Amino acid sequence: MKSPNASIRFALSVSTSLALGSVACAGSNEVANPTPQTTSANLVGTTPQSTTSTAIPEMRPAPTDTTTTTMTTSEASAGVSAPSPGAATPYATSSEPTTFDDGQIGTILSAIDNAEIATATIAVNKSTTPRVKQLARQILNDYRAVENRLQVTLKSQSITPEDSSLASKLSTDNLHLATKLGDQSGSDFDHGYIAAEIQGHQGTVDLIDNMLIPNVKNAQLRSGLEATRARVVAHLAIARDVQTSLNP
């Protein structure tokens, strides 16, 4: 099992067309026709779809550089760590910037979406545990919807996606994670996938709070970040509960 930081990075990468194609080829008809579970995570400026989804927990306002944000009750129950203003995240290294423009933020958000789509695709097909499979289906459908809305926002706001050293590194890491999950089966796969989801979702919350929201300038892109954050917290709570059920 990789270190927590590595697992976090693994679960958040830009899933390139080649990476997603490789993962999708391993899928079955079950993925091609997943049980509809679309989300209500909306990006401002887009027309919400008529969907059903699990309830979104109370959304926390964006943190500032001078005030510590109080966690909501739902976040505390999900095991979300309270961010420290200005604190380093698992993604910040000496060779990676901690400031991003809106184009780079859009690419990083897309990386998060596509990484979750890729790993959930594997889990839907490989897991034999009902709760793990159900969570994977929910993640798959949720992130497909969020990614579609993100692309609409980027286009409507004339935000040109831009690559970054962080996005490139995460792309490579996610290919490694997909390979590792592909080599696992049975109980080892279920435990590995759920552990990666927990670590990855906590990492996403940290990334959004400490690096993305403080830098975003476009109001609609900010709204998308907040909606994504709320969805991540909801998934994290479910994943922790599933992990407990796997370890009675």
Say what the pLDDT of residue 177 is. 85
Q: What is the mean pLDDT of each run of 10 residues along the chain (248 residues)?
A: 42 37 38 40 38 37 38 53 42 60 94 90 95 97 95 97 86 82 93 94 93 96 94 96 92
Say what the pLDDT of residue 101 is. 95
Structural domain range at position 186? 1-27+98-248
112: left (phi over 0), alpha (psi -120 to 50) or beta: alpha
Asked if residue 188 is part of any domain, the answer here is yes
CATH number of 115's domain: 1.20.1260.10
Structure tokens belonging to residue 14 = 């830009």
Asked if residue 185 is part of any domain, the answer here is yes
Q: Could you give the number of structural domains in the chain?
A: 1
Nearest in space to 174 (alpha carbons), one of 6, 26, 53: 6
Asked if residue 9 is part of any domain, the answer here is yes
Say what the pLDDT of residue 79 is. 56
Say what the pLDDT of residue 92 is. 44
Say what the pLDDT of residue 244 is. 95
Q: Alpha-carbon Rg of the chain, whole angstroms?
A: 17
Evaluated on CA atoms 220, 73, 10, 8, the torsion sign reads positive
**pLDDT tens string 24-43:** 333 434 443 444 443 333 33
Per the CB < 8 A criterion, the answer to whether 57 and 234 are in contact is: yes
Asked if residue 92 is part of any domain, the answer here is no
Say what the pLDDT of residue 75 is. 57
Structure tokens belonging to residue 202 = 């906590």
- The answer to pTM > 0.85 is no
Say what the pLDDT of residue 66 is. 35
Say what the pLDDT of residue 138 is. 97
